[in-house]
Amino acid sequence: MRFFIFLILGVFLFSGCNQKSDHRRAGSGKSELVDNKTLQKIKKEGKLTALTTYSGTSYFLYRGQPMGFEYELLKRFADHLGVELDIVVSQNIDSLLTELNFGEIDLVAHGITITSDRKEEVNFTDYLYLTHQVLVQRKPENWRTMNWSAVEKELIHDAIELIGDTVSVRQNSSYLQRLQNLSKEIGGEIHIDTLPGHLSTDRIIKMVVDGEIKYTVADNNIASINASYYHILDIDVPISFSQRIAWAVSPKSPELLVAINNWLKEMKNDVDYYVIYNKYFKNRRNFRQRIQSDFYSLTNNSISRYDEIIKNYADTIDWDWRLIASLIYQESGFDPEASSWAGAGGLMQIMPSIAEDLGVENRSDPEQSIRGGTKFLGQLWKNFEEVEDSVQRIKFTLAAYNCGYYHVLDAQKLAEMNSLDKYSWDDNVAEMILELSYPDNYNRPGIKYGYVRGIEPYTYVDQIFERYEHYRQFIDI
């Protein structure tokens, strides 16, 4: 299955454009109110459009790989429906539910607390998990050298102690609603400092850690995984009973709601669901590794330790360095010692037969591998001058890098024989590269270079572009 984040075809692939990537991001503009797509239409169009957020649990990039609780579940649900996944990233968490009214979004995939007010606006799925809200506060700076009774005196121990104090939360969050209700319940005012909607709960918790704000409120599972790394945090004061966390769909999409709920029921009967949940909300070791990593998109604008080398040589062929980074991940997972059964080696998996021609003496040397690999990409690119569309031309180049230039020529020839566009990879030559796996096609007169396992270049191109779109979402050019 292929997963795509919105892609505007054109010259954006080239670093020479000198403009910021034009992702489709929610919360940045108005649209006309339109009807939402039915489940039948989603399947017919072959695409599920899901709105989510950047956060340390929902969707992020780590060591070159897209990850997240919502992301992994969305992949599985799209696969269940047999459609592609189109991820739209919200610029404003406070507007998540509002976006459903404009018809472009099929599903809001974010940890949303089910409330009575929200149920009047959207339909919630069956709950994903239960949690409760807690106060997030900071221990004294020197808490490690203090005796515990002294630390305890500095902390809030009961929500009633918040009367007259200030807690910072997002404007349209369930946390704000809970604080308003709590003020009424305890008969005293809790002052609420409203924060901008683009701030994730993780980021707001970090503001408490850094002393930028005094208190915030978070779901216990999110607060707990953050506190496992930021030991200065105290999250022991509950401020709500158990609450249900779910995704949301438009009231105009009842069939989609049923499909999600049926799928969720199946998922919850499978161990994979709980493995995914524990991976993002329970595994403290993995969370600490991500937070400490230089290649975690929420803290650094980096993909790999080789970014600067990639940028340098990407400029020599005028390609977006993030696209080449995606290719390198596909080839070697950023392992300079990687080797294949066929003898290819290094970051860009260069074959011994062409290494010398490319001036590569040591394929395990990252700089030599990237220099040689990009040089080879440049050579292949020049072979497809007749392909006018720049995106299609890059796809031809990637396919040739994977399976060989002459096999791609055969696929173009076969496309021509079948009245397809030999200058278009998508839906044309890509389909013919698959057909070259069969004797009745690779033995046809005019097909010169024989059998190729077409599924490899076909998925190779798709996966590099899929990953590249994630890189564009997270990493500035």
User: Could you tell me the CA-to-CA distances from 49 to 205, 284, 330, 436, 466 in Å, in that order?
Assistant: 29, 31, 25, 33, 15
Q: Quickly list DSSP for 449-461.
A: S----THHHHHHH
Q: Quickly list DSSP for 73-108.
A: HHHHHHHHHT-EEEEEEES-GGGTTGGGGGSS-SEE
Residue in 123, 129, 130 with CA at minimum distance from that of residue 258: 123
Q: Quickly list DSSP for 272-335.
A: HHHHHHHHHHT-HHHHHHHHH-TTBTTT-S-S-TTHHHHHHHHHHHT--HHHHHHHHHHHHTT-
**Cα 337–340–343 angle (5° rounding)?**
95
- Find the helix or strand (DSSP H, E) in which 21 lies: none
For 1, the 3-state DSSP assignment is coil
**Cα 377–378–382 angle (5° rounding)?**
115
**How many Å apart are CA 26 and CA 29, to the nearest integer?**
7
**Which tokens go with 69?**
């609780």
Cβ neighbours of 210 (radius 10 Å): 11
Rg of the chain's alpha carbons, rounded to an integer? Answer: 26
**How many Å apart are CA 123 and CA 153, to the nearest integer?**
44
Q: Which residues contact 13 (CB under 8 A, 6 or more apart)?
A: 319, 320, 323, 390, 391, 394
Cβ neighbours of 356 (radius 10 Å): 10
337 is catalytic: no
Q: What is the largest CA-CA distance in the chain?
A: 87
Which of the following is catalytic: 331, 435, 466, 469? 331
Cβ neighbours of 161 (radius 10 Å): 14
402 contacts 460 by C-beta, under 8 angstroms: yes
The catalytic residue positions are 331
